[in-house]
């Protein structure tokens, strides 16, 4: 009961409801009694919080009313039926477990909207595809400086490059050549799917070339694309070849990709033979893969392609999943079977074996491209 009397007094004091005499008496008491003083401070913090809380609750009520009205009118559309008012806000503002749960839920929604049909039968909540969404303005600037470097070089070799309109891209990922004679590249299906209107490949010098999708397999997250740009000059034969069987557990690998607007090298090892939820089309690596690494080649020390980076575990950035290289052969076969005009010859003769890593990278990097589009 004493607590209650105290609260009553403090509340009346804070609300200015005390008579002048009572107030003087109370303030005097407060000065000489640290406990009372503490109670006043606490109570005032508490009432402030409660006050703010109640104001916001009332405001949210008003917001809900307006939103409800606008939803009825069709001005605002909600995909899902509106949850109970209070529940909705709990989900949103709960700090700890509820937030985690809520986010997990959102991630899975996201995944399906981003990855599209990638393994729709599976729960994708734990996977993050590694395509980067772009602010092309920043990128264009970097590319411009790169173009400039290129132009200086071009002047020296006296082969001017036609100045082309640069495409405003909405995403960036990686892809690499699998048939240099016919300009076929491999990347992820979730990457190719991002290109709703235009698809381009861009080399490490910032030169862009138009491409088209010739094959999509969301099951294995693989896509084959072809450079159809007349300005693209054919590259020499592939310096690497492709592994037809699984990579070995513990095998050292490296990755070349475009997590930023220039080619980036990372190292790692094969940590499991199968992918997320024991998906046999994939293998698991421990390496650094960032957004933009989707479609990057995974190469072993002998210069064999063992996989194509696809995604990473959402909660563990070091755990990366790559499509096994055997799927590249399967994809190429399927294309040739379906369409006689598209004839993919995966014929790399390995020129990387025994080279130093620096030389391996130099030889390879012309064959790895940024995949962009909008």
* Least gap, CB of 77 to another protein (angstroms): 5
Near another protein by CB under 8 A, which window of 71-79, 143-151, 224-232, 356-364?
Answer: 71-79
Which residues make Cβ contacts (< 8 Å) with residue 308, sequence separation at least 6? Answer: 186, 187, 188, 222, 295, 296, 297, 298, 322, 323, 325, 327, 328
For residues 134-193, which are near another protein according to CB under 8 A?
134-138
Among 54, 117, 123, 277, binds another protein (CB under 8 A): 54
- The tokens describing 291, both together, are 């957004």
353 near another protein, rule: CB under 8 A: no
Among 17, 27, 42, 333, binds another protein (CB under 8 A): 42
Considering CB under 8 A, how many residues would be counted as binding another protein?
60
Near another protein by CB under 8 A, which window of 101-109, 175-183, 229-237, 277-285?
Answer: 101-109
For residues 202-261, which are near another protein according to CB under 8 A?
none
* Least gap, CB of 148 to another protein (angstroms): 23
Query: Does residue 143 contact residue 172 with C-beta atoms inside 8 Å?
Result: no
Which residues make Cβ contacts (< 8 Å) with residue 219, sequence separation at least 6? Answer: 119, 281
- The tokens describing 244, both together, are 């037809």
Dist. CA 304–CA 270, nearest whole Å:
14
Among 33, 93, 141, 145, binds another protein (CB under 8 A): 93
**Contacts of the segment 33-40: beta carbons below 8 A, 24+ positions apart:** 36/6, 39/6, 39/10, 40/10, 40/13, 40/14
Query: Does residue 325 contact residue 251 with C-beta atoms inside 8 Å?
Result: no
Among 22, 38, 57, 237, binds another protein (CB under 8 A): 57
* Least gap, CB of 314 to another protein (angstroms): 5
Task: Select 110 or 265, whichever has its Cβ closest to another protein.
Answer: 110
Among 29, 41, 101, 103, binds another protein (CB under 8 A): 103
* Least gap, CB of 356 to another protein (angstroms): 33
Task: Select 302 or 314, whichever has its Cβ closest to another protein.
Answer: 314
Give the start-end residues of each E strand in 250-367: 252-257, 264-272, 282-287, 297-300, 304-313, 316-324
Burial of 204 (0-12, 13-18, 19+ CB in 10 A): middle
Can you tell me whether residue 151 is helix, strand or coil?
helix
109 near another protein, rule: CB under 8 A: yes
Task: Select 86 or 148, whichever has its Cβ closest to another protein.
Answer: 86
Near another protein by CB under 8 A, which window of 38-46, 196-204, 217-225, 230-238?
Answer: 38-46
Query: Does residue 221 contact residue 263 with C-beta atoms inside 8 Å?
Result: no
Query: Does residue 221 contact residue 328 with C-beta atoms inside 8 Å?
Result: no
For residues 287-346, which are near another protein according to CB under 8 A?
290-291, 314-315, 317
Helical (H) or strand (E) element with 274: none
117 near another protein, rule: CB under 8 A: no
Residues forming the site for another protein (CB under 8 A): 3-4, 7-8, 42-43, 45-46, 49-60, 62-63, 65-67, 69-70, 75-80, 88-90, 92-95, 103, 106-107, 109-110, 113-114, 128, 132-138, 290-291, 314-315, 317
């Amino acid at each position: 009961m004493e607590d209650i009397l105290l609260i009553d007094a403090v509340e009346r004091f804070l609300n200015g409801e005390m008579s002048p005499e009572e107030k003087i008496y109370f303030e005097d008491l407060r000065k000489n009694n640290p406990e009372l003083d503490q109670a006043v401070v606490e109570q005032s913090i508490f009432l402030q919080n409660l006050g703010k809380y109640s104001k916001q609750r009332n405001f949210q009520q008003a917001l809900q009313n307006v939103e409800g009205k606008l939803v009825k009118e069709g001005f605002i559309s909600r995909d899902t039926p509106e949850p109970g008012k209070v529940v909705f806000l709990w989900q949103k503002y709960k700090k700890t477990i509820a937030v985690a749960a809520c986010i997990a839920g959102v991630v899975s929604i996201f995944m399906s909207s981003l990855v599209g049909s990638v393994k729709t039968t599976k729960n994708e909540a734990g996977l993050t595809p590694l395509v980067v969404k772009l602010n092309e303005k920043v990128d264009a600037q970097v590319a411009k400086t790169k173009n400039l470097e290129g132009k200086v070089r071009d002047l020296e070799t006296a082969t001017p490059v036609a100045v082309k309109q640069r495409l405003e891209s909405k995403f960036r990922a990686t892809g690499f050549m699998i048939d240099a004679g016919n300009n076929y590249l491999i990347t992820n299906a979730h990457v190719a799917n991002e290109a709703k209107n235009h698809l381009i490949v861009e080399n490490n010098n910032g030169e862009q070339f138009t491409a088209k999708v010739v094959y999509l397999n969301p099951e294995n997250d693989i896509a084959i694309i072809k450079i159809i740009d007349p300005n693209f000059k054919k590259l020499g034969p592939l310096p690497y070849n492709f592994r037809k069987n699984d990579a070995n557990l513990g095998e050292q690998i490296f990755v070349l990709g475009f997590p930023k607007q220039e080619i980036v090298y990372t190292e790692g090892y094969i940590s499991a033979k199968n992918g997320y939820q024991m998906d046999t089309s994939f293998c698991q690596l421990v390496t650094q893969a960032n957004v933009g690494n989707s479609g990057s080649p995974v190469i072993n020390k002998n210069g064999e392609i063992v996989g194509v980076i696809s995604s990473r575990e959402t909660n563990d950035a070091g755990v990366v999943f790559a499509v096994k290289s055997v799927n590249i052969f399967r994809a190429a076969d399927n294309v040739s079977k379906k369409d006689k005009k598209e004839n993919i010859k995966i014929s790399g003769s390995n020129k990387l074996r025994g080279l130093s890593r620096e030389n391996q990278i130099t030889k390879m990097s012309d064959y790895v491209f940024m995949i962009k589009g909008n």
